[in-house]
Every structure is written in C-alpha cells, then in structure tokens.
Amino acid sequence: MSREPESVNRWLITLAVMVPTLIEILDTSVANVALKHIQGSLAAGEEEVTWVLTSYLVANAIVIPMSGWLARLMGRKRFLMLSIAVFTASSLLCGAATTLPQIILFRIFQGLGGGGLQPMSQAILMETFPPQQRGMAMGIFGVGVVLGPILGPLMGGYLTDNFTWRWIFYINLPVGLLALYLAGAFLFDPPYMERRQRGEVVDYLGLALLTTGIGALQIVLDKGQQDDWFSSPFITTLAVVSAVSLVGLVFWELRHPRPVLDFRILKNRSFAIGNVVMFFGFFAFFGSIVLLPLFLQGLMGYTAYLAGLVLGPGGMLALVFMPVAGKLTERIDARWMLAFGMLVCAYSLHIMAGFNLYIDFGTAAFARVLQGIAMPFFFVSLSVVTFAYVPREAMNTASPLYNLLRNLGGSFGVAFVTTLLARRTQYHHSVLAEDMTPLSAAYQLGYEQIRAGLAMQLGEVADLAERAQTLIYQMLQREASALAFNDAFMSQGAIFLVLFFCVWFMRRPPRGKHEGFVE
C-alpha cells in the first residue's frame, strides 16, 4: 500500500495536498461575509450568530496540534482522507442546517475535519521534495495560504448575493470529492514514518489538557474585545482555565514517553526560534490585514469594492513572488531573504502609520503592494530556515506545532489590534477634546467657519449652532480614530524590526545539492 516518493510525480503529490489545504483556508473566511444572511435566515441574534465563526476556529485550533499524533495513530494517508471526508460531509450538513444550534454543531465537525489538512499537507510537501527544493515546495504551499484569505470573502460574497448563503458550504462537495480522489491516488505513508505500536499507552491527560487549553484560548481571543476582556466573568474564567491547562500540558508532555504534542523538538535551535518568529510575524501581519480595510472603509469612506482594489494588487504580487522566493532559496542564504522580507514589511507599516484622512488611493495601494512583495520572502524563507535541520521522520511532529503557532499568532494579532484601536481612540479623543472650549482660538475659528458654511447652505435655521458643534465632534472622532490607526500600524511595524535581530540566531540553512540538509 505504501509507495516511495520517487514512484509518484512530485507535482501530482503537490496538487493532492494543495486542494484540501486551499478549501480549508477558504472556509476560515468564506462565512464572514454571509453572517448577516445566516442570521436572518435562522432568526439568530447578532452575538449568537458569531458562534458560526468561533465554533469553526475553536475546533480547528484543537485539531492542528494533535494532527501529528493522529497521523501516527491511524496512518497519515488514512488520517488525511478521513479529515477530507469529515470536512466535506459536515459542509453539506452546514448548508442544510435549519437552526442555529445545528449549524454551530456542524461547523464544529467541519473545523475538526479541516484542522489536520494544513499541517499534514506541509509535512508531506517537505518530505516529498528533495532538501534543496524545499523552498520551492514552501513557495507553492504559500500560494494556497495567501490565496485562501483573498478568495474566501470574494467567493462568499458572490455565492451569497447570486444564490444563497447555503452555497458557500455546498461548493465544498465537488472540491472535497476531487481532494479525496487525489489523496487516494497519489499520497502514501513513507516507510520511515513512525506508527503507533500495539499496546502503547494513549496520552489521555495530554489530549484533555490540549483540547481544554487551546479551545478556551481561542474563545478568549475571539470574544475578548466584544465582552471587554477581563471585566467579563466568562472571559476571565476561560483565560484562567486556558492558562492552567496549557502550563500543565507543557510539564506533562515533557515527561510523557509518547506525548500528543512533543515539545522536545524545540531543542532544535533554528526550529525553536523559527516558531517564535512565525508567531510574532503573523501576529503583526494579520493585525495589519485587519486594520487596513477598517481604515479605508470606516474613515475614508471607501466602498468594499474600492477597498478590495487597494488590497488586491498586493495579494496578486504575493502570489507571483511565492514561487520566486522559493526558487531563490536554492541560491541565496534564506536568512538574508527573511531579513529582507521583515524590513520591507516594517517599512510598509511605517508608511501606513503615516496615513491621514486625506491620503489618495495610490498611497494606500503602494503600502499594500510593498507588503505583498515582502510576505513571500518572509513566509517561504522562514519555513526553509526553520525546517532545514528537522529530520524527515520528525516532520509530522514539527509541522503541527509550527502551524498552531502561526494560527495563534494571527488570532493574538487580531485581538491585539482591535483592543489597541479601541483604547487609543479613547485616549486621542480625550486629548483632542481638551482644546474644544470657547477659550481656544483655533476651536472658535473652526466653529465660525463651519457655522458660516452651514448658513450658506441652509440659511439661518434655529439649530445652526447645534449642527456646527455636531460636525466638529464628528471630525474630532474621525481624527482620534485615525491617530489610533497610526499607533496600531506603528506597533506592528516595530514587531518586524525586533524580529529582524532574531534571524541571526538561527543556523544558516544549507543550499544547493552539495550541502548537508537533513534528510
């Protein structure tokens, strides 16, 4: 039943793992734009319906770190095919759901099915390609990672507007069946892959701690800002449960002979530092991805289409540069490429930190284009450096941990910037409001100019003074929000500058056919 990698075309294996990876990433964002339609169709409340998103993310986050253990338990090919089957079947059930509890339950199963797809796909690609071509493999893998968030909202919006929200789930059926066929035909379990031995003790406590800790943490990150963080007893309780569970998990797994999540691999210096860089890199990257559309649509008055035009070129360039960056890792020290990506990311965020309420379309698009060029060099090069000295037989252990920290970094980043935005808006509002008094010459001049302008348009109506003050307050609120966005962008750029220095503590990866990669 097993076949050696050489007996199957590498590009067919690549296609077999990229199809399920892409649909899984698509489904993390495809439901966002359809949430209002789901709410109306199922007669759900505004807060209740967000569990359609949260339930998927929680289930997904739980399975990712244990996917290596599950692959060892049942065989990687069988686990991958089971994951695709569960994901596809639960997608159909989500589309057919008639109540909110039903769709939340089926989204949980969808998340459980999708959780293992990314880490297993990455592990298979890293094993399939020879060491000197791993950069190219990660470039191709990165195309799916980048393409998913771009296509998700577009596809979700199109299907919802032209058909019904149920089709955002039904569309997974043909893709899922194709993925099942490709996995069955072209994937294999390598002979060196470790399998669970008969009579081996299952790490039940590790499973319980992992499920509880990651599940509670994901809910805290997703719901924290909405519930005002630790002023909510629900969020506080979950945060304590998560902290206790995850700390207990680390101590328990380091002592268990067959852990669900093997932290011993972090003894590899490059792998350990690479995971830290991945966490904080995606912390900064995903935070900025959330901020830019909010700034353009919320403060600049851009439509969703215009905001998409600003974001689109950067996304397209990222797709183009992914394989380019992968190819370059065969000739250039990947650490230099990683450092280049970080500096360009930091510079793009520096430009965003200087945005004001009068920037033109080109300025906003240019900053996003720089980010789109930088991210392939960051993502591909970091993967190459991080996994350069990880043995092939340890890929099933290493990839889930790497993907977990990438996803958690994104979740932490989004939670951080939304909270920072709210806090800094309040701060700048209070500072700017200090000058809104009749004693301020600037305030009086602005007030008189606005009042005169309104009088020319409306005449001397009774509430002219009140209207002028309302407009001044709205201007103050927009200015306070813009300054808060500046602070948030600047903080994300500072993270990339700090990470730049971490790169040089990682071992130089070998390159070319004559250097000693770990096989």
**How many percent of the chain have pLDDT more than 90?**
9
Higher pLDDT: 134 or 98? It is: 98
Q: In terms of pLDDT, which residue wins out, 9 or 221?
A: 221
Which of 414, 311, 332 has its CA nearest to residue 380? 332
- Min mean pLDDT across 40-49, 270-279, 402-411 is at 40-49
- The pLDDT value given to residue 342: 92
More confident residue, 408 or 341: 341
Mean pLDDT, all residues of the chain: 79
Residue ranges of alpha helices (H) inside 434-463 are 441-458
Segment 317-330, tens digit of pLDDT: 887 888 888 888 88
Burial of 176 (0-12, 13-18, 19+ CB in 10 A): buried
pTM: 0.78
Q: Which positions ≥6 away from 494 have C-beta within 8 Å?
A: 346
Q: Considering just the CA atoms, what is the radius of gyration of the chain in Å?
A: 25
Q: Between 418 and 192, whose confidence is greater?
A: 418
Q: How large is the average pLDDT for residues 188-216?
A: 73
| pLDDT surpasses 60 at 391 | yes
Four-point Cα dihedral 335, 274, 29, 216, nearest 10:
-170
Which is more confident, 179 or 467? Answer: 179
Report d(CA 365, CA 314) in Å as an integer: 8
Q: What is the pLDDT of residue 514?
A: 41
User: Average pLDDT for residues 215-233, to the nearest whole number?
Assistant: 81
Query: H or E element: which one contains 78?
Result: helix 76-96
Between the alpha carbon of residue 418 and those of residues 224, 283, 423, 450, 474, the distances in Å are 10, 12, 9, 32, 21
Alpha carbons 316 and 331: distance in angstroms, whole number: 24
Residue 275 CB-density burial (10 A; 0-12 exposed, 13-18 middle, 19+ buried): buried
Provide the H-helix boundaries in 97-133.
100-114, 117-128
* CA proximity to 502, closest of 370, 371, 342, 372: 342
Q: Which of 170, 51, 161 is nearest to 99 (CA)?
A: 51
The residue with greater pLDDT, 490 or 33, is 490
pLDDT for position 436:
67
Write the DSSP symbol of residue 6.
Answer: G
Evaluate whether 19 touches 179 at the Cβ level (below 8 Å). yes
Answer yes or no: is pLDDT of 350 > 60: yes
Asked if residue 297 has pLDDT above 80, the reply is no
Look at 75-89, 115-129, 377-391, 501-515 and tell me which has the smallest mean pLDDT.
Answer: 501-515
Whether the per-residue pLDDT at 18 is higher than 50: the answer is: yes
Q: What is the mean pLDDT of residues 503-511?
A: 81
Rounded Cα–Cα distance for residues 81 and 187 (Å): 10
- Structure token digits, residue 510: 């070998």
What is the number of other CB atoms lying within 10 angstroms of the CB of residue 263? 15
Residue 393 · residue 194 · CB < 8 Å = yes
Ordered DSSP codes for 206-225: HHHHHHHHHHHHHHHHHHTT
pLDDT above 70 as % of the chain:
83
For residues 50-56, give the mean pLDDT. Answer: 78
| Tens digits of residue pLDDT in 426-450 | 888 887 777 666 666 666 666 666 6
| Residue 194 confidence class, pLDDT cut points 50, 70, 90 | low
Residue 128 in this model has a pLDDT that exceeds 60: yes
Question: Among 39-48, 119-128, 297-306, 463-472, whose mean pLDDT is lowest?
Answer: 463-472
Average pLDDT over residues 36-51: 75
Read off the pLDDT of each residue in 66-76 and give the average, rounded to a whole number: 80
Work out the angle at residue 208's Cα, subtended by the Cα atoms of residues 204 and 110, and round it to the nearest 5 degrees.
Answer: 110
Q: Which pLDDT value is given to residue 47? A: 67
Looking at residues 345-360, what average pLDDT do you find? 89
